């Protein structure tokens, strides 16, 4: 607590130093510093007493809080057996002071991202961390042995399950679940965050484990203009500034037409900087109109309904927003890095 009166501020500092040395903490209530302040109160003119007395009483209340904190048992972290079994569903023991903890920047930013999409009418569904070949490839218009599968080289369990290389593994599920809404005249609008896995050579811009967000929108009469407007609105809200965007042709098996979505660099306004490689533009994510075969796999008639989908890395978005130069920081456990986002 900050005290405006110099006498009270000095007394607070002296009391705190005294408390740390006392064995009998309760004796602080009769400390000469407090007694002197009450004696001083009697000497002040009536106009000054009210404010001075208020600050002295606040200090007395703070002293009581110090005493309550001093009564709490101190845990010796070295005495904890880290090999002992524990119940993962049980509430976490409060071993460390709250001020030493902080939310991970990915968690913090994902909350903001989902809030923006939520205000745009999108619900959210979490992705999976193990899936099967059908949802990873078959439902997304990847024929068996198609070379496009090589771009999604992931990890496989002995049982044949896959660690998803993209959050698109959820598309078939959300489309099937949303079919009733379509028949009732409502659009399918879903944002799908999740952790994905790739067999990557790790460096400053590539990780084998990172986070993606998939978006799916399906309704009658949906076109590319809706896709561009949706993504531009989100990005302008996230970066809190007006942006130019453009799309360029690309290839994804599950969208047709497919695009790479590019935005004007939010840091240099297209003047050129190290973040955009001095091009003025940043290639951000893949997107496109959902392929008719993907809609058919979910029992949705592509002659009646159309939609768009997109997928982009959350890690990369956060790196851009805060000027983080190395994606490996996110999984390093480096407290110096993480506490910057406290």
Query: Where residue 215 sits, what CATH number does that domain have?
Result: 3.30.930.10
Tell me whether residue 91 is in a domain: no
Buried b (16+ CB within 10 A) or exposed e, 56-76: beebeeebeeeeeeeeeeeee
Tell me whether residue 89 is in a domain: no
**63 and 128 housed in the same domain:** no
Measured distance CA(341)–CA(321) in Å, rounded? 12
In degrees to the nearest 10, what's the CA dihedral of 248, 250, 256, 257? Answer: 20
**58 and 140 housed in the same domain:** no
**39 and 120 housed in the same domain:** no
Tell me whether residue 86 is in a domain: no
Measured distance CA(264)–CA(244) in Å, rounded? 5
**Do residues 167 and 214 make contact, with C-beta atoms less than 8 angstroms apart?**
yes
**50 and 127 housed in the same domain:** no
Q: How many domains does the chain have?
A: 2
**63 and 113 housed in the same domain:** no
**136 and 267 housed in the same domain:** yes
**67 and 117 housed in the same domain:** no
**158 and 235 housed in the same domain:** yes
Measured distance CA(218)–CA(178) in Å, rounded? 9
List per-residue pLDDT tens for the chain, 342 residues long: 556 677 777 777 776 676 665 555 566 566 677 777 777 777 888 777 778 778 778 877 776 776 677 666 665 656 666 667 767 677 766 555 555 667 889 999 999 999 999 999 999 999 998 999 999 898 998 888 877 777 777 788 888 888 888 899 999 999 999 999 999 999 999 999 999 998 877 888 788 888 999 999 999 999 999 999 999 999 999 989 898 899 999 999 999 999 999 988 888 878 888 777 788 888 889 999 999 999 999 999 999 999 999 999 999 899 888 888 888 898 888 888 888 887
Tell me whether residue 95 is in a domain: no
Measured distance CA(237)–CA(57) in Å, rounded? 46
**205 and 59 housed in the same domain:** no
Tell me whether residue 214 is in a domain: yes
Tell me whether residue 307 is in a domain: yes
Tell me whether residue 202 is in a domain: yes
Q: Is 123 left (phi over 0), alpha (psi -120 to 50) or beta?
A: beta
Which of 29, 56, 71 lies at the terminal end of a domain, its last residue?
Answer: 71
Tell me whether residue 234 is in a domain: yes
Measured distance CA(163)–CA(156) in Å, rounded? 6
Which of 22, 53, 71 lies at the terminal end of a domain, its last residue?
Answer: 71
Which of 49, 71, 93 lies at the terminal end of a domain, its last residue?
Answer: 71
SS3 275: coil
Which residue segment(s) compose the domain that 147 sits in?
Answer: 105-341
Question: Within 10 A of 295 (CB to CB), how many other CB atoms are there?
Answer: 21
């Amino acid at each position: 607590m900050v005290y405006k009166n110099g006498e009270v501020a000095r007394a607070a500092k002296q009391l705190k130093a005294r408390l740390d040395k006392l064995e009998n903490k309760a004796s602080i209530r009769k400390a000469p510093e407090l007694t002197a302040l009450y004696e001083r109160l009697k000497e002040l003119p009536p106009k000054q007493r009210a404010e001075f007395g208020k600050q002295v009483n606040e200090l007395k209340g703070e002293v009581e809080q110090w005493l309550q904190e001093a009564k709490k048992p101190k845990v010796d972290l070295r005495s904890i057996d880290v090999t002992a079994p524990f119940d993962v569903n049980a509430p976490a023991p409060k071993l460390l002071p709250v001020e030493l903890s902080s939310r991970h920047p990915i968690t913090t930013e994902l909350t903001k991202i989902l809030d923006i999409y939520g205000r745009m009418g999108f619900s959210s569904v979490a992705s999976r961390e193990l899936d099967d070949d059908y949802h990873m490839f078959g439902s997304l218009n990847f024929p068996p042995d198609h070379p496009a599968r090589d771009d999604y080289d992931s990890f496989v369990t002995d049982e044949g399950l896959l660690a998803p290389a993209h959050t698109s593994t959820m598309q078939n599920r959300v489309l099937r679940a949303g079919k009733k809404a379509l028949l009732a005249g409502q659009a399918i609008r879903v944002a799908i965050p999740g952790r994905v896995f790739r067999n990557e050579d790790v460096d400053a811009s590539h990780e084998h484990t990172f986070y993606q967000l998939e978006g799916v929108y399906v309704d009658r009469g949906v076109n590319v203009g809706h896709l561009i407007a949706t993504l531009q609105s989100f990005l302008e809200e996230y970066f809190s500034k007006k942006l130019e965007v453009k799309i360029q042709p690309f290839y994804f098996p599950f969208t047709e037409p497919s695009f790479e979505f590019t935005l004007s660099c939010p840091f240099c306004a297209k003047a050129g900087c190290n973040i955009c490689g001095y091009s003025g533009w940043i290639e951000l994510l893949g997107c496109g109109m959902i392929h008719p075969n993907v809609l058919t796999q979910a029992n949705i008639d592509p002659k009646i309904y159309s939609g768009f989908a997109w997928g982009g890395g959350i890690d990369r978005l956060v790196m851009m927003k805060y000027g983080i130069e190395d994606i490996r920081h996110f999984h390093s456990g480096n407290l110096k890095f993480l506490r910057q986002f406290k």
